[in-house]
Structure 1
Amino acid sequence: MHLRVGQVPVVVVTSKELARDVLKTHDANFATRPKLVAGGIVAYDWADILFSPSGDYWRKLRRLCIQEILSTKRILSFQHIREDEVLNLVDEIRAAGSSTPVDLSSRLHRITNSIVSRAAFGRKRSNAADFLAAIKQSVVMSSGFYVPDLFPRFTGILSVLTGMRRKLRAIRRTVDGILEEIICEREEMLKQARTDLPLLQGNNKEEENLLDVLLGLQENGHDFGFPMTRDTIKAIILVSSISYLYVC
């Protein structure tokens, strides 16, 4: 069944046979992604794998993510992080005693923040909750029926009139500010390592993380067929955080 929602054509698939045709037989015809307003503003001009339109850049970015970011080996390498956080939760519940109510919702939310923060950035961060709240909001604003996305010809003016652009720019400022701060910290630590200064100071132990992998690829000039710019690194970290948020 073919519908038109605003100016956007929509095909509703109602059987498994048609779903197979769409997702497998004619995948190339249906694989492209619309350039949503959220992807343009928050995801650095559609530079990440979620929002990037299907094409050569998307295929190369997908290869990088499969090989370096979201591989089974990489996911398993963070198993100790998940185990640590779960054990800490169990200890907290046990310490509360059998007669004390425990707010599991807030504790599970805190665990999620800690796991994503340690996997993506190497350690728990005080602003991890703000970062994850911002990317959750960006996911919500990219997955609903928002008027500016339904009328691509008038996206610019509609995103202003509805306030969507203002909200997304606020999310972008939060995300970009946190990522820039973290990247600068990691770059400084790498400089210290190269000059034989202690990489780890005090009790603030840093773990190998996704950002280190991307900065290493950028420094070594690893060729995936597209430039590994600062915005590209931020976009990949953003989508990786979303993946770990909903998968790990």
Structure 2
Amino acid sequence: MATQLTFPNWLATAATCLASLAVLLLILRRLSRRRYNLPPGPKPWPIIGNLNLIGSLPHRSIDSLSKKYGPLMHVWFGSNPIVVGSSVEMAKAILKTHDVSLAGRPRFSAGKYTTYNYSDITWSQYGPYWRQARRMCLMELFSAKRLEEYEYIRKEELRAVLNELFHSANRTVLLKDHLSNLSLNVISRMVLGKKYLQKSENAIVSPEDFKKMLDELFLLNGVLNIGDFIPCINFLDVQGYIKRMKALSKKFDRFMEHVLDEHIERKKGVKDYVAKDMVDVLLHLAEDPTLEVKLERHGVKAFTQDLIAGGTESSAVTVEWAISELLRRPEIFKKATDELDRVIGRERWVEEKDIVNLPYINAIAKEAMRLHPVAPMLVPRLAREDCQVGGYDIPKGTQVLVHVWSIGRDPTIWDNPEEFQPERFLGKEIDVRGHDYELLPFGAGRRMCPGYPLGLKVIQSSLANLLHGFNWRLPHGVKSEELDMDEIFGLSTPKKIPLETVVQPRLPHHLYSL
């Protein structure tokens, strides 16, 4: 007599069949999956990957791992595969040979919440929108003609800072404040058309608060947000970063809306209106019907935010590191001032056109960018397709980091790499414009920082004039060997403890007058 299948037995049989089918599908998937020859790297832990090996200064942690596993290393941040290139050869392969294949961007929370849902130049995906943004930067915003038109702004703001330092002579000053004011005022006038951030009763945001906003922006765009790498816990916001990103976004958007409204109101009813600043240019482009991808209002705000943040941070951070290093090496200081006295003399300031005739000043700037790159690991790239680098496979979807901090300290490239020695650049054609992979402060390839021409001008001219205009020393009781040279990690790496210094004028006093 046949036995009737009861409901519980039926359920158990169905569950067994489903489990068997799932196992079979898993086996077939693994058999059909391509076996990749991945670069060497540490064995990952379940769920967290290799995040347990990353400390508070990730660029230093990854440098230590690269020394063990080689110039092309594979690690896991949570469930995300990461490939790190830390040699000239690997940098060239990533940024030049496979530039297009590796031109994507990972979709981090920072890009979503702080750049209008990936609408800026830095975090937008490679494609028509990004290519159009790149063209706008090269042809409109940072063209040689436009930068030349704005030279008078850079000159006026630099003179203002030199005047401030003159009136602070023989007193301890916080150099970062003066450098940030310089960069912020230059960028504000070039991008926004005026100093929106001057102290006034009706100011939309105070200068102090805006600087804090910029510091927060760079920090949050560089942090390792655990939720980006372990998506299942992203909603928990265990580090509190997403909450901070959302709060920061609201503050920036309030400011950006105010700026755009003022610019739109200013040109109402004006026939043949001529653009006065970069926001005017962006708003004009937003009305251009011939653009391949329409530039929306949120895109204008995202680009404007990029221009302000990128132009402010890089130059101030680099010059502060340079001065800090020189305070530890007085003999380098003397060589720099000797060159300035010989080429410029003591009766005028350094002009931008003079920089080409100041090889030692140029060498100091390059050495600061080598030893203290603003972005120690370039903004992460994403593999858009499978490719092969250095004989290893990089599967589609892999994040790719170029570790310029390690390259700048590679003893096979640089003698005494931990020492600040500007002489290493004298008589050598090593450039910072993305052609020489030993020195990549602005990156290289398609996703190179589009604003580097402006950043380089501000770095070189401000450094030259600060050295030309003043003698520098540390505050009383502080020895050069005691000067703190630790950094903070983010999208940039400023000094952990800002530099305090004392200045004394070295040129005729009438030159410091405005």
TM-score bracket for the superposition, by shorter chain length? 0.7 to 0.9
Distance of 1:25 and 1:195 partners within structure 2: 45
1:113 aligned to which of 165, 169, 184: 184
- Per the TM alignment, residue 183 of structure 1 is displaced from its structure 2 partner at its CA by 0.8
Following superposition of structure 1 onto structure 2, how do residues 38-117 of structure 1 map, counting pairs within 5 Å?
Answer: 38-96=110-168, 99-117=170-188
Equivalence for 2:305: 238
> Which amino acid in structure 1 is aligned with residue 176 of structure 2?
S
Structure-2 change in CA distance of 1:167 and 1:11 (3 Å): same
SS in 2 for 1:93: helix
Runs of 4+ more than 6 Å apart: none
Q: Deviations over 1:22-80 (max 9, x none)?
A: 22222222221101101111111101110012223222221122111222322232211
1:179 aligned to which of 232, 253, 256: 256
Distance of 1:155 and 1:44 partners within structure 2: 23
Equivalence for 2:265: 188
> Which amino acid in structure 2 is aligned with residue 227 of structure 1?
K
- Per the TM alignment, residue 9 of structure 1 is displaced from its structure 2 partner at its CA by 0.9
> Which amino acid in structure 1 is aligned with residue 153 of structure 2?
I
Structure 1 window deviating more from structure 2 (162-171 vs 229-238): it is 162-171
Contact 2:128 2:293 in 1 (8 A): no
Distance of 1:36 and 1:23 partners within structure 2: 21
TM-score of the aligned structures, taking structure 2 as reference length: 0.43
RMSD: 2.5
Identical positions, percent: 28
Contact 1:120 1:209 in 2 (8 A): yes
Structure-2 change in CA distance of 1:71 and 1:236 (3 Å): same
Distance of 1:195 and 1:12 partners within structure 2: 51
Equivalence for 2:219: 140
Number of aligned residues: 235
Distance of 1:131 and 1:192 partners within structure 2: 32
Equivalence for 1:149: 228
Higher gyration radius (CA): 2
> Which amino acid in structure 1 is aligned with residue 82 of structure 2?
V
- Per the TM alignment, residue 189 of structure 1 is displaced from its structure 2 partner at its CA by 1.0
Distance of 1:216 and 1:158 partners within structure 2: 42
Distance of 1:209 and 1:108 partners within structure 2: 22
* Structure 2 unaligned regions, length at least 5: 1-72, 198-204, 315-454, 459-514
Contact 1:113 1:128 in 2 (8 A): no
Q: Which has the higher helix share?
A: 1
Distance of 1:104 and 1:139 partners within structure 2: 19
User: Would you say 1:210 and 2:281 are equivalent positions?
Assistant: no
- Per the TM alignment, residue 179 of structure 1 is displaced from its structure 2 partner at its CA by 0.6
